[in-house]
Structure 1
Amino acid sequence: MTAFKSLYRSMRRVLPSITRAGSWRQYPIGLSLILIAPLFLLLGFGFVYPVAQLLGQSFFAPEFGLGNYRRLLETPLYLKVLVRTVTIAAIVMIAALILGYPVALAMARIRRKLSGLVMACVLLPLWTSALVRSYAWIVILQRRGLVNDLLLGLGAVGEPLKLIYTQSAVIVAMTHVLLPFMILPIFGAIRMIPPELEQAARNLGAGQLSVFIKILLPLSLPGISAGCLMTFILALGFYVTPALVGGPGSLLMATLIGQQTTETLDWGFAGALSTVLLCVTLLIVVCFRNVLSNNRGISNVA
């Protein structure tokens, strides 16, 4: 009973502080550590430990040294795959931005009911398995698929075009999958812009284009930055879609790492490839942040 009474007194002291603003500063250090321990354990066992083990294997397998990294740098194929991965990720990011910004703007400006319908259409790819989405693009782009049948029916081409298993097919499929990650941050940023700013600009004689360039676009840059970062980073690590839709000429780093771990069982070289891809990703993210940090909103987001 004494133990239960002491626990009850402790809870009575802690629970009222939860409802007060800034109450996290009043938590005892021991209780704070207990509360955040599950998160740190999950992060450690689910992310830090596997990454650290893969990094260690890149130096110790099959023997200690930098042999795996020398192999990567001395073989032109692997460097070509790395450059292709970064290039395709950048193209997908730009394509998603061009296609996603008008959709996000329309979602923020139309009526609430229609906005919810458009939001459901935007989120539909996220509700569908990546495997199903990739096979859907195979059905659309294959030699007897919807696109080739339409072109043949219109007489635009004399024979089916090779649309599937190409780098263009990879870009189209990845853009479709990653489009929601570009639209949603931009939509959130545009929704936060007070409509009075645009009304005031129009009352002062500004046109639609001038309002967009001088008000809407600068104030939505934080959402653009967040969407570009998420889309680019996710595109760098894409595996399922390039493996199914792409061909030998569109091999990406994630597919190459998968081959090293499942087919050749060369975990040391797979670790080296993963480490290089991780370092390149961090470098590009840092450069992206430094270039766009002149904008106050972007520096906070990135």
Structure 2
Amino acid sequence: MKAGFFEANGRQMSRGAILLLMAPFFALVIFAFLYPLGSLLSLSVLEPSPTLTNYERVFDNPIYATVLYRTLRMALLVSLLSLALSLPVAILMANSRGPKAVFLTACVLLPFWSSVLVRTAAWSILLQRNGLVNEFLQGIGITSEPLRLLYTQGAVVIAMTHVLMPFMVLPIYGALRNIPFDYNRAAAICGAGPLRSFWEVTLPLAMPGILGGFILVFLTALGYFITPSLLGSPQEMMIATLISQQIRENLDWPFAAALVGVLTLLVTIITLVFSKVFRFERMLGARA
């Protein structure tokens, strides 16, 4: 097959035809994402006049640097917890068949059937002073009085991990399902035990799914808004909550746009670093 063509239903399509088919997608990206984002970022440097004052405020005030650092730390913690909890689930799903596999898949996909707001509200009920968690801790004698679990960083981390776990499980599960069973059988024939076979065969081959899920959860957690707003305290806000505060309470759109610009730049840098360091295309078997 010649370069610049691909075969579909026995016929070859030119690169121009492919671009024509992709035009609606590109148009949607431009008008639904790039244009609104560009318009918002323009406010940060053009309002009230061409200036970089709004960006100077972001870096000059230590409060905003603290919020940015807290956002990075919590996003990393949520990603690590999601990975630790999702890997065993994905392995169990990949090794299951029949009704058991259907049941496990349904458990992972079930959270998508309810909104993030509903799941976050459920955690607020569980973690309140007279909620199920405090009643359980007092019932087994660990605590003598209700703990302050709600409106803390711990509550935000727990709820965000629960909400974002499916985005970690599914990429890892997909990578594990693509590993031929013969590889582990060959490792066993060569004398490798289950643990060594997993460490030297399964884990390296599943690494694209692990890294893909990790970066997906991490980048999503950086801009998360609903869960930190409902379960966190104003003294421990994340950057998305700060942006909302600047727009809704202070009506300071240029400064909010500057915060969006900093967050966008941060996400772009992290994505490029991950792509450069881990070389996703080589890990997936593509040509360099």
Q: TM-score of the superposition, structure 1-length normalised?
A: 0.88
> 1:12 is matched with which residue?
none
Deviation at 1:299, TM superposition (A): 8.3
Instruction: State the match for 1:132 in structure 2.
Output: 118
RMSD: 1.8
Partner of 1:35: 21
Q: Any idea what SS the aligned residue of 2:13 has?
A: helix
8 Å Cα contact 1:292/1:298 also seen in 2: no
2: CA distance, partners of 1:299 / 1:228: 20
Q: 1:24 aligns with which of 13, 32, 37?
A: 13
TM-score by length of 2: 0.92
Matched, 1:106 2:95: no
Q: 1:269 aligns with which of 255, 270, 288?
A: 255
State how many pairs are aligned: 280
Matched, 1:185 2:175: no
CA distance in 1, matches of 2:224, 2:185: 42
1:281 corresponds, among 255, 267, 285, to: 267
Task: State the SS of the aligned residue for 1:83.
Answer: helix
Q: Quick one: which amino acid aligns to residue 90 of structure 1?
A: L
1:59 and 2:27 aligned: no
Q: How far does residue 296 in structure 1 lie from its aligned partner after superposition?
A: 2.9
Is 2:75 aligned against 1:89? yes
Partner of 1:246: 232
The answer to whether structure 1 residue 146 and structure 2 residue 132 are counterparts is: yes
Gaps of 5+ in 1: 1-16
What residue number does 1:175 align with? Answer: 161
Letter in 1 for 2:10: R
Tell me the secondary structure at the aligned position of residue 220 of structure 1: helix
Larger Rg over CA atoms: 1
1:189-208 alignment, distance < 5 Å:
189-208=175-194
C-alpha spacing 1:212/1:33, structure 2 compared with 1 (3 Å) = closer
Matching residue of 2:150: 164
Which moves more between the two structures, 278-287 or 31-40?
A: 31-40
Letter aligned with residue 241 of structure 2? T
Query: Which of the pair is proportionally richer in helix?
Result: 1
Distance between the aligned counterparts of 2:269 and 2:21, measured in 1? 33
Please give the alpha-carbon distance, in whole angstroms, between the structure 2 residues aligned to 1:282 and 1:39: 21
Relative to structure 1, the CA distance from residue 293 to residue 239 in structure 2 (aligned partners, 3 Å threshold; closer, same or farther) is same
